[in-house]
Structure 1
Amino acid sequence: MLLVSAAGTVVAGVSEIRVALAFGALIAVGEAVRVTLPGDREQAPISDAGALAYALLGPLRGLPTGHGVLQVVAVSGAAGLLGLGLNTLRGRAPDPDVLARRIITICFAAVCFQPLYNSGALDRLATHGAQYGLVLAAVAALAALCDVVLAAVLHRARTGRRFGPALRDELRALLGIGTAIGATGLVISLGAGEIGLWALPVFSAPLALTQLSFRRHSATWDTHRQSVASLARATEVAGYTLPGHTRRVAALSRAIGRRLGMGERELLLLESAALMHDIGQLSLVEPVPGGATALLPAAEQRRIARLGSEVIRQAGVPPEVADCVRRQAEPYRCPDGSRDPGLPAASRIIRAANAYDDLCDDRGLARRLEVLEQLRLDTAREYDPRVVEALAQVSAGCRGQRTGR
């Protein structure tokens, strides 16, 4: 698509080259200063807003423009590649999928708007300024939905996660910085019609400040994750759990949560709780053999979980994490056979993942299948059947990757 657009633009000649260079510079700079949000979600707000504004650009300082769909795609794509190159020089690995998604989204927006504008049909449809603004807002909203669907498809292809939960996560993200991106792109295109290219720096400034706030939030979250990881290793360093146990349980829990359709925020909280699920063992006078809490009496498991929760609360982590750790030792069903509706899904997942890792050993596939069957038999009381089945699917997938299937 990018090559075809570039070739078409060269053949037809670049229209308003000064305007193209200005928008290209904004897109390239925005790509170079992209930010990674919690959940490893990459965003280039300034670049996205600049590309959207160029796709929706009609008159410039009261004068009509003549660039079309091909030039919008060519300029956005070339500037994005330049920004990726700058990121590479800074030692940051580029993600071409994100750029490809933006190009498709911008192409969609340009196809919706540019033919209407260049043919004069938009002037006949939107005879007043308010109507023109509504048309731009509608196209921007459609482009945002297109981007959400593409992002969910990419997320599903990368992680194997179900499309529905991935789409819900992307829609939630759209309500955050995605709304700011769309609004800024819309304002730049409208502002350029009145004040010209000065609209680019003037109306990009608020979004730049917003991006700075998101960057600080992301840095804070990274620090939090590092603190959680360091705290989680305390049980291994002290010899209470086997090396790698907490990381395996966290990875397994996250995979199960993704299989069950958890949202990104839920997965992040689940991962934190799983990393710290054994912190309560530090209160023991003598370590549990092999750190296998799944083999302890139920009362002792609950005591360790409660003590771990108290330690976690003092560490300043979200209260949901401490609650998940406290309730991880509670069985899925009450003594009367009923389910406890207040038992967090994360606690049920950690309970099954921890038992699986505690009970498996180095005897290979046969032992793992035996443990899974034991967990299935215990679903009458101890474990959530849906969690155990998801665990079995995740375990089968991991075995398939190891054997090359």
Structure 2
Amino acid sequence: MVSTEAVWVRAVRLTAAALLAAGLGELVCDGPADPVTAAAFAAVIAIGERVRITLPGDREQTPIGTAAALAYALLGPLRGLPTSHGVLQVIAVAGLGMVSGAVPPFRTPDPARVDAVARRLLTVAFAAALFQPLYESGALDRADCTGPAYGLFVSGIALLAALCDAVLAAGLHRARTGLRFAAALGDELRSLLGIGSAIVATGMLISLLAAEMGLWALPLFCTPLLLAQASFRRAAAVRATTGQTIETLARATEVAGYTPPGHARRVADTACALGRVLGLGTRDLALLEYAALMHDIGQLSLVEPVPCGATARLPQDEQQRIARLGSEVIRQTGVPRQVAQQVARLADPCRRPDGSEDPTLPLAARIIRVANAHDELVTLARQRGLPAPAGRLEALELLRLECGDRYDPRVLAVLSGLGRGDGRPRA
């Protein structure tokens, strides 16, 4: 049975391919309108694809290429003269630039990159379909859409195109990672407020100012975007360094003999799987992974290691002491403060003394506590010689006995679903 996510990816690819084929067909049959302009935009789009950047969550973005393609889709007058390239030529020129820049010669393209190119091409086609027919038919002139009104009209279409791109990207991101659509869309909308707003503004400015400046608007307004890309690359390098630091700290307890080999990584993987099902976005998942990797760092304060590192079986106050000490260590590493806050609350009960749920307890802390206890119990069961499936079932049953106080029922329900392989909570 084909999943909904696979159908979505296939639909995006096939639609983009069909539009590109139609655009290329018209280009071959009728020839390009204003070949110099078409070649200039195609070249800038191809260069933009070559200097792409990767955002958190392995989300690929091509600021310069996307801005140039959007500008071509919204291009009206050029040097005071009307243009007539139309929707299909926009698709053909943008598609040629994207494919030539994104796909290395003689190499099989990465499926994720193919999806990204298809998404960007559909976004450009959407913008062109909204703008070009109205411009070429003279409807804008008849409506006296000039001056500020024309600028607002172009801005509105650019914004709609950006929202279209966010929806397409969220669907593809969900298909690739299993993230909930609402969380994936939230990530894309937050990105739209960052680099996305710069892309939309640049594309809009190029299309508007090309009416007076001609093709000089392309290099003039793409240069600041190139500088912005350099800043994003430095930020990505900082994130990579932070990740390496956290991985190193996470192994400290294993090297010192306080936790079994691979325990921190297993807990982090389980926690991220739970977080995706529970609707956490890319940024929250990254913080969750950091906290899960370093959740045992407080054990280094113990005089004698806990057997098998199984802190989940310790008294509540001892677990809380270890969590607080680990939090203090994390605060000194330069890791985002939310990570230290999550680790500090790892051993706190889910319920208050009056039996009501504690709303201040972070979801990340609830997730890591369940993932940690589950891995510890599975490890102990393995040491007793139990087969892996039996060990997992026994661990789940033991966790359910303490559900509600120590362990969040929602997180346990999702963990049970992951154990069955469907990633959904039990009914």
Q: What TM-score comes out, normalization by structure 2 length?
A: 0.89
Whole-Å Cα distance in 2 between the matches of residues 280 and 207 of structure 1? 44
- Report if aligned partners of 1:87, 1:94 keep a CA contact under 8 Å in 2: no
Q: Which residue of 2 aligns with 1:211?
A: 229
CA drift at 1:301: 1.2
Q: Which residue of 2 aligns with 1:389?
A: 413
- Report if aligned partners of 2:277, 2:423 keep a CA contact under 8 Å in 1: no
Aligned pairs, number: 399
Q: Which residue of 2 aligns with 1:368?
A: 392
Q: Which residue of 2 aligns with 1:109?
A: 127
CA drift at 1:94: 6.6
Quick one: which amino acid aligns to residue 291 of structure 1? G
2:48 matches 1:30: yes
Q: 377-386 or 143-152: which moved more?
A: 377-386
Structure-2 change in CA distance of 1:346 and 1:63 (3 Å): same
2:312 matches 1:294: yes
Whole-Å Cα distance in 2 between the matches of residues 336 and 139 of structure 1? 54
Q: Which residue of 2 aligns with 1:144?
A: 162
2:69 matches 1:51: yes
Q: Which residue of 2 aligns with 1:180?
A: 198
Whole-Å Cα distance in 1 between the matches of residues 327 and 364 of structure 2? 14
Q: 22-31 or 298-307: which moved more?
A: 298-307
- Report if aligned partners of 1:188, 1:199 keep a CA contact under 8 Å in 2: yes
- Report if aligned partners of 2:417, 2:423 keep a CA contact under 8 Å in 1: no
Q: Which residue of 2 aligns with 1:169?
A: 187
Structure-2 change in CA distance of 1:185 and 1:122 (3 Å): same
Q: Which residue of 1 aligns with 2:6?
A: none
Q: Which residue of 2 aligns with 1:79?
A: 97
2:174 matches 1:156: yes
CA drift at 1:163: 1.5
Quick one: which amino acid aligns to residue 120 of structure 1? G
- Report if aligned partners of 1:32, 1:87 keep a CA contact under 8 Å in 2: no
- Report if aligned partners of 2:414, 2:423 keep a CA contact under 8 Å in 1: no
Deviation readout 1:286-328 (Å, 9 max, x if unpaired): 2221111112222221121111111111111111111111110
Whole-Å Cα distance in 1 between the matches of residues 276 and 355 of structure 2? 28
Query: 1:226 is matched with which residue: 228, 236, 244?
Result: 244
Deviation readout 1:216-271 (Å, 9 max, x if unpaired): 11111111111111111111122211111111111111111111111222111111
Structure-2 change in CA distance of 1:282 and 1:299 (3 Å): same
Quick one: which amino acid aligns to residue 201 of structure 1? P
Whole-Å Cα distance in 2 between the matches of residues 88 and 54 of structure 1? 29
SS at match of 1:95: helix
Query: Gaps spanning 5+ residues in structure 2: where?
Result: 1-18
Whole-Å Cα distance in 2 between the matches of residues 88 and 339 of structure 1? 58
CA drift at 1:399: 9.4
2:288 matches 1:264: no
Quick one: which amino acid aligns to residue 207 of structure 1? L
Q: Which residue of 2 aligns with 1:122?
A: 140
Q: Which residue of 2 aligns with 1:21?
A: 39
The root-mean-square deviation of aligned C-alpha atoms, in Å, is: 1.9
Query: Gaps spanning 5+ residues in structure 1: where?
Result: 401-405
- Report if aligned partners of 1:88, 1:94 keep a CA contact under 8 Å in 2: no
- Report if aligned partners of 1:352, 1:388 keep a CA contact under 8 Å in 2: yes
Q: Which residue of 1 aligns with 2:341?
A: 323
CA drift at 1:140: 0.6
Q: Which residue of 1 aligns with 2:13?
A: none
- Report if aligned partners of 1:32, 1:86 keep a CA contact under 8 Å in 2: no
